[in-house]
Chain A
Amino acid sequence: MKDSPKKNIVILGNGISGITAARHLRKRTDRPITIISEEHPYFFSRTALMYVYMGHMPFEATQPYENDFWKKNNLNCIQASVKNINGQKKYLEFKNGETMSFDVLIIASGSKPNQLSCPGNDLDGVHGMYHKQDLDRLESLSHSIKSAVIVGGGLIGIELAEMLHSRGKKVTLIVRENSFWNRVLPDAESKMINSHIEAHGIRLLLETELKAINPSEQGGVKEVITNKGEVIPCEYVGSTIGVSPNVDFLKDSGITLGRGVLVNSFLETNLPDIYAIGDCAEQTQPQINRRPIEAVWYTGRIMGETLANTLCGKREQYQPNHWFNSAKFFDIEYQTYGRVEAKPDPTDQKQFYWQHQSKNQLLRLSYHPETEILQGVNVMGIRMRHKIFEQWLDQNKTLEEVIDSLQEAYFDPEFSKNPIAKIKADFALIKQ
């Protein structure tokens, strides 16, 4: 598109949302684009930081584009921290006192890890695992860690457990709920992960909370005390009790905030030319069955693409298609498409569930109790094709139709032992 004079676009944050927006904008406009990050000058995959600590990859390998890619595409990347934004007068204030004006601002500042609230939460050796700086800190402490306690039964918690375990640390994972991630995972999935965690030699403490962290003489961590009175000696406490939108620096910006930056379905804030995408954006009118803040990789990417369309003259609503997500819990891969409730309301959702007798393999299909139309799928230890499930959800396929054609969606590597015949047989038994 042509703009004269060229309006500059500033993107705050170089995570997946901001970078996706920048790349798609650059394909279609020659307006100046500046990407600002406090964390690192160039885009890297946050989800891959764990592999750096585990020694699977060097940090550079987490960067999907070579460093000269940005310059070649005329994307100006700078590392700096923003102190405040003036939304009316359209400029940013940096911590070092400098300012920068913008015509269009995209806020993609992501999340920040939640802090523990117990005494001792500010000790050296109590950290989250979110930013590159968290990784660097963990690495610098690593040689002195023999035992670690991780608090929080979510995705980052189990990844941090895997990281520390891979470097030979004794790991205790403390989970408030009575089973791992069971706000999201149904019982069987959650239990499978519980036993897998323990099979790796991690101590898993369920229905447990942290009461206090006691300091060592050097100002680090000496031990933690649980609400059950147990004292666990450790040198490191991983705080992984969730994340919240990273929006504190916007308090005085004139931009309306809720938990995150409030945006309408066009990703627009209350101020003109200021948008928010990714983890930091909070939808004022989320779609049915979707949460106002969805802090996952994929939604960030979709928002970035949507906003790029809008800014290039094709005003587009953020309409994510069916929910999907994936994770890996140590060695168990998990994929989900559509909506699978952890504790379904029987008038809203029924579920067919199959589990392998001995291997860590599981499939759960959710469907409407009356029409039997597919609502979603969970798979553990089996790979399923995204596009096919999306089609089936779009086409309102019934449970039976889905089971019949399940092979079409099967995505495991060649020569894998295919569980689909067994799933079908078990389904036939149940139906009788």
Chain B
Amino acid sequence: MVNKKSLSQNTALLLGFLGLLLWSSSFWIEYQNKTLMLTIGFLMMSIGVVGFSYSLYFTSLAGIRNNGVWFSSLVSRGIWGWLLGLVLTGFYVLLYFYPEFLGYNEAGKSSGLVAFFDPLSVLLNGKPATQWFLYGTVYTLAIILFGIKFIFKYRNNRYQVFRTISVIFFQLGFAFLIPEILSKLNQDLPYFSKDLKNMWPLNYYFFEDWHFNNMLNGGNLGLFILVFGLLMMFIISPILTYFFGKRWYCSWVCGCGGLAETAGDPFRQLSSKKISVWKFERWMIHVVLVFIFITTIAVIWTYLGSETSGEILTRKYFANVIIGFLILLMLVILLWGRKELNKDALNTIISIATLLIFVIVWQSKWNQENLMFVDSYSLRKWYGFGVGAAFSGVLGVGFYPILGSRVWCRFGCPMAAILGLQQRLLSRFRITTNGGQCISCGNCSSYCEMGIDVRSYAQNEENIVRSSCVGCGICATVCPRGVLKLENVSSKNRY
């Protein structure tokens, strides 16, 4: 670092690290008074992060302070960056694939790191902690503490402040506290009849049999969660995306986005802006979307087959619904997207949809057990492993210090793909450019976490309508000439 850290910054850092160390030490040490240790660690980390941020940003006036970002080993892929990446990746590998190393015991009483969180878990949901509770707690804490840091950093910009309060609120309330507390109040109901964060396809298991059964067996609450999920997907989300762009979700609500915007903010400049990477992104994210779509309909197909009597939905009926949906989707895209999308994109969409329709017709005619020729359960297992765990977790967060904070959102998230398609074709949201004021400095592109070359539009006085844009607004915030503005005005009031 070029700018030496002040004494107060160093003290705060040390305190934070000791707090983290205290929590981590439960890996080896079985504390007698876990509540006390949890609280002390929590306080140390909180005071550490908030104190460090305060002393970092409030010692100067409010403004853009990206000073020394590219001289810092931690956030410019230096040795510290790689080390942090290694530690994060390691943690995710343990969490997803070897939770027993964290102390999780499926059969009986957990120990170690997982058991360390028992007091909090019992307080909130009445049961001992699992590795997912541990993860949820650390995740939420990271969003809150680094969210406060982010608010300090961008306190001169109310869009950034409001947005960050929003992601903290949704993570803490909707994703963490409410499901846990609902659990406590409804001990006998399955967990997923209480989980509000269930928007397919980000939560890819929504239509899977066990998840469905969870909701169906969850009484009124489960039914509400089911209806809420469907409403979000098919009605609320399209309306909000039409008016505000995908940002209403990606940078105001979503937990993955929330972590990227807060804990991931120092790494946002590491996203690649190369045209070749943009090409890869378009290919990759749509592959994931098609993958989850196929997996989901295959799973539903198989699920429908297992019901023998009293079926509301038969396979044949389901096949017709999906075919109808695909045809409708193609028509909409052809209608709205003919001018907007390039030929390659259109051809890809049409050929994939046609192929799918063909397969579905073929399989439903012969009433096969597996819609997509392979066992739907292994499809879903591979999706869960490859995309759900390895991509979104290990790569998505573990690689923050290497590839930037939105790797998952940019290359993998099927939800982002859907919202993005709508944003590109049917949304009021865009970033407008202020006439000829751009000086091509490149701050906007540099700090775009999605790797959009914002400058290439701004310097040509073009509006920015990109499916990947999550509307974080940082480009407009760091612009030194007041060139960019996020807008959702109707087309006739546009400039």
Binding site for B on A (CB under 8 A): 16, 45, 47-48, 51, 54-58, 61-64, 66, 166-168, 199-200, 297-298, 301-302, 324, 326-328, 330-331, 333, 335, 383-388, 390, 411-417
Contact = CB atoms under 8 A, between A and B. Distances in A.
* Contact-residue size bin, chain B (C-beta under 8 Å from the other chain): 35 or more
B173 interface: no
Contacts of B72: 55
B485 interface: yes
B456 interface: yes
Given A48-B440, A48-B441, A335-B482, A61 B60 contact: no
B108 interface: no
Closest 10 pairs between A and B when the two form their complex, measured CB to CB:
A386-B435, A331-B63, A383-B482, A48-B441, A415-B158, A55-B68, A328-B480, A56-B66, A45-B440, A166-B67
Interface of B: 2-4, 60-64, 66-72, 76, 156-159, 161-162, 269, 273-275, 434-437, 439-443, 445-446, 455-456, 459, 473, 476-477, 480-482, 485-486, 495
Given A168-B2, A388-B495, A413-B486, A331 B61 contact: yes
A48 B4 contact: no
Given A64-B455, A415-B162, A56 B70 contact: yes
Contacts of A415: 158-159, 161-162
A62 B442 contact: yes
Given A57-B441, A390-B435, 20 more contacts: A51-B442, A54-B67, A57-B443, A61-B273, A62-B442, A64-B459, A166-B3, A324-B437, A326-B481, A333-B482, A383-B485, A385-B495, A386-B435, A387-B435, A388-B495, A413-B159, A413-B486, A414-B486, A416-B157, A416-B158
A199 B435 CA distance: 32
Contacts of B273: 61
A281 to B, nearest CB: 18
Contact of B275 (A66, A200, A387): A66
Contact of A45 (B60, B442, B473, B485): B442
A413 B71 CA distance: 30
Given A62-B441, A386-B435, A390-B435, A331 B159 contact: no
Contacts of B76: 58
Given A61-B445, A331-B61, A54 B481 contact: no
13 contacts: A51-B441, A56-B443, A61-B445, A61-B446, A64-B442, A166-B3, A168-B3, A168-B4, A324-B435, A331-B64, A335-B481, A413-B157, A416-B159
B437 A57 contact: no
A384 B434 CA distance: 8
Contacts of B459: 64
A62 B480 CA distance: 14
B245 to A, nearest CB: 12
Given A55-B2, A416-B159, A386 B443 contact: no
B440 A16 contact: yes
A65 B276 CA distance: 13
A326 B437 contact: yes
Contacts of A302: 436
Nearest to A328: B480
B486 A330 contact: no
Contact of B61 (A167, A199, A298, A390): A199
Contacts of A166: 3, 67-68
A386 B437 contact: yes
Contacts of B159: 413-416
Contact of B436 (A62, A64, A200, A301): A301
